[in-house]
């Protein structure tokens, strides 16, 4: 089968009834979609948000201003359709799949996907967050969730997360995988004041001093979270199936960084939705050579930024499929 090339897509766009290049980065996005799906008519109609939830042992040392129990409460809110991600998904015509990757509670709900590896990661300031076997299982289950969504008809996957303490885990991943200083990696998360931020940095400094891991799998094992690992696995699963992935903010980008460091070809399917307000996110994006689609000062998570970017993908796909060529316009072939 003849492969679709960037030159093919650019020629098609340049022949349209409008000035070449007049749609700027939407044209670039159309090219990316065509290359990922290997078609001049990319499919973007069905967007599925895979929202992975997990708890973090780091919360035992006070890295978040909220208690770990909030993770369980927010999972219940998501399942009730009352979280921000639900509202945004309805607004853009996307579906939400909530997945228990490692919530520290026994959960039961007909709409919850049970992929739990264990009840929360271990405290990375004191021990490795996961065993080798647990991390392998989390990656496998993330791949399986991506495969299931795509087989069910998803054209585009969006990634989201819920987990108190996960900005701390993401900061450690950034620190070791970029690499970057911890001071440049640690941000306010869910709303720390200066004192809380200083405490968070001190805890993460202890965690970083505990292990000198630099190999991507081992860094993820030492410092990652179960929901972060499953998002990395989901990216790998999407890459195997040539499916675009809308990567949300700081925490999802840390998962993408780990995924790409483990498997460089996974970068090709990643579309980075937005630049968040969290310290360090812009530096991670630059390391991944990513120019995000939006810049709205978001820092919520839940996949909210990814959902807001979904209409841009649909517009880019429509640009390829539905706009007449200049030759057809001039010849009256409309």
Determine the Cα–Cα distance for residues 23 and 187; give it in Å rounded to an integer: 35
Q: Choosing from 27, 161, 278, 302, which is the catalytic residue?
A: 302
- Beta strand extents in 84-217 (DSSP E only): 94-102, 112-114, 156-162
Determine the Cα–Cα distance for residues 107 and 167; give it in Å rounded to an integer: 23
Determine the Cα–Cα distance for residues 56 and 60; give it in Å rounded to an integer: 8
195 a catalytic residue: no
CA dihedral for 57, 63, 69, 71, sign (positive or negative)? negative
- Helix or strand holding residue 150 (H, E): helix 132-151
Copy the structure tokens of residue 252: 């999802």
- Give the chain's end-to-end CA distance (angstroms, integer): 30
Q: Residue 79's Cα: distance from chain center in Å?
A: 20
The set of residues, in sequence order, having a beta carbon less than 8 Å from that of 194 and lying 6+ positions away, is none
Q: CA distances (Å), 174 to each of 61, 83, 252, 283, 287, in order?
A: 20, 28, 11, 9, 10
Residues acting as catalytic residues:
302
């Amino acid at each position: 089968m003849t492969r679709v090339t960037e030159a093919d897509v650019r020629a098609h766009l340049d022949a349209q009834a409008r000035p070449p290049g007049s749609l700027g980065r939407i044209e670039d996005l159309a090219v990316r979609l065509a290359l990922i799906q290997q078609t001049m008519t990319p499919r973007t109609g069905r967007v599925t948000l895979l929202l992975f939830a997990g708890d973090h042992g780091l919360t035992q040392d006070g890295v978040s201003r909220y208690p770990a129990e909030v993770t369980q409460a927010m999972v219940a809110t998501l399942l009730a359709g009352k979280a921000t991600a639900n509202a945004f998904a309805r607004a853009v015509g996307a579906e939400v799949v909530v997945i228990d990757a490692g919530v520290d509670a026994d959960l039961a709900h007909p709409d919850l996907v049970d992929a739990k590896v264990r009840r929360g990661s271990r405290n990375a300031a004191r021990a490795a967050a996961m065993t080798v076997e647990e991390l392998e299982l989390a990656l496998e289950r993330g791949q399986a969730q991506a495969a299931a969504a795509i087989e069910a008809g998803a054209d585009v996957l969006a990634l989201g997360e819920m987990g108190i303490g996960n900005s701390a885990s993401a900061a450690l991943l950034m620190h070791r995988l970029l690499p970057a200083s911890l001071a440049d990696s640690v941000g306010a998360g869910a709303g720390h004041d200066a004192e809380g931020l200083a405490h968070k940095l001190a805890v993460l400094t202890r965690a970083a001093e505990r292990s000198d891991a630099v190999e991507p799998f081992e860094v993820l094992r030492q410092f990652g979270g179960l929901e972060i690992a499953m998002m990395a696995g989901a990216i790998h699963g999407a890459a195997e199936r040539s499916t675009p992935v809308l990567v949300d903010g700081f925490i999802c980008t840390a998962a993408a960084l780990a995924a790409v460091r483990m498997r460089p070809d996974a970068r090709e399917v990643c579309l980075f939705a937005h630049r968040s307000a969290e310290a360090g996110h812009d530096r991670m994006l630059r390391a991944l050579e990513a120019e995000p689609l939006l810049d709205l000062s978001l820092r919520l998570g839940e996949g909210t930024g990814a959902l807001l970017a979904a209409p841009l993908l649909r517009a880019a796909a429509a640009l390829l499929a539905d706009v007449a060529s200049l030759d057809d316009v001039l010849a009256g072939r409309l």
